[in-house]
Amino acid sequence: MLTFITELRHRNDALYLFGLICLVASIAFLLLSATTSVRVYNVSAWYKPFKFAFSTFLYSWAMAWYCHYLQSFNAPLFSWSVIILLGFEILYIALQAGRGQLSHYNLSTPLYATLYSLMAIAATAVTVYTAYVGILFFKQPFPLLPDYYLWAIRLSILLFVVFSLEGFVMGSRLTHTIGGPDGEAGIPILNWSTRYGDPRIAHFIGMHALQVLPLLAFYVVRNTKAVIFISALYSLLAVLALVQALQGKPFFASKKHSQNAISK
């Protein structure tokens, strides 16, 4: 692990440090969720900043690692764009959590509506920039990388971009629950609905292909055709999770809810 950390810092010091800050922040947010009583949607208000900070930590370290392979790429510009845009998003989410207020879908005042729009712009900008990185991985030659690993990086970035943009499904509805109100019963911490459709699950699965597929390819699969096949199955899982959510059906149904559905 120490070798990986040392190499990661050598590859991209800025994203390494930003990711580390996000990791520390995510731990702090999780501790606050256990020690404070501030709540939003009937759960700790600190769960949301925890999820965003931890996800940003994973994204930052993954992209710091992958971008090192690119030729003639302005890594500092990419890194500081990510730091500024996602840093703003996490800071605003944390600020609103501390105040017991919604960050997402909050149009209750002109200020909140503007800040929510800016968050959407920031997330979209990072996604578009990541898509550009993905295009470079398809266009540039990488003679030193195994094909199975290269294809895992390509396909993981593709899935990340597609399911990051899937956030517009929620943004257009101003809700992360389909078939019922936000704030109903959900699984611990992640709070994904156990009663209704929840597009956040597909969002999560697709975006974290960025870590899952390259790790599987490099350490386990080590075969190009197998990597493509597994990536296809992984994509299908994300799509099915989205389709189920759009139908208003829970991906993780509670036992009580399942029994009620059967009785009907």
Residues 6+ apart with CB under 8 A from 26: 49, 50, 53, 54, 57
Instruction: Return the pLDDT at 262.
Output: 42
**Long-range interactions of 255-260: CB distance < 8 A, separation 24+:** 257/185, 257/194, 257/195
Are 102 and 157 in a shared domain?
no
Take residue 157 and report the two structure tokens written for it: 């970035």
pLDDT tens digits, 140-197: 999 999 999 999 999 999 999 999 999 999 999 999 999 999 888 889 999 999 999 9
pLDDT tens digits, 46-75: 999 999 999 999 999 999 999 999 999 999
Residue type, 39: R
Query: Which of the residue ranges 74-88, 94-108, 171-185, 196-210 would you say has the lowest mean pLDDT?
Result: 171-185
Residue 261 has pLDDT above 60, yes or no: no
Q: Which domain holds residue 101?
A: 1-140
Residue type, 147: D
pLDDT tens digits, 112-122: 999 999 999 99
Contact 140, 70 (CB under 8 A): yes
Q: What is the mean pLDDT of residues 9-25?
A: 97
Domain count, the chain: 2
Are 178 and 225 in a shared domain?
yes
Task: Report CA-CA distances (Å) from 215 to 50, 86, 156.
Answer: 23, 24, 10
Grade residue 264 by pLDDT with cuts at 50, 70 and 90: very low
Alpha carbon distance 102, 157 (integer Å)? 30
Are 7 and 131 in a shared domain?
yes
Give the global pTM. Answer: 0.93
Residue 127 has pLDDT above 70, yes or no: yes
Query: Which of the residue ranges 26-40, 72-86, 127-141, 182-196 would you say has the lowest mean pLDDT?
Result: 182-196
Are 128 and 154 in a shared domain?
no
Grade residue 263 by pLDDT with cuts at 50, 70 and 90: very low
Are 122 and 237 in a shared domain?
no
Are 188 and 100 in a shared domain?
no
Are 207 and 178 in a shared domain?
yes
Are 66 and 186 in a shared domain?
no
Given 114, 140, 166, the domain boundary residue is 140
Q: What is the mean pLDDT of the chain?
A: 94
Residue 255 has pLDDT above 80, yes or no: no
Burial class (CB in 10 A: 0-12, 13-18, 19+), 34: exposed
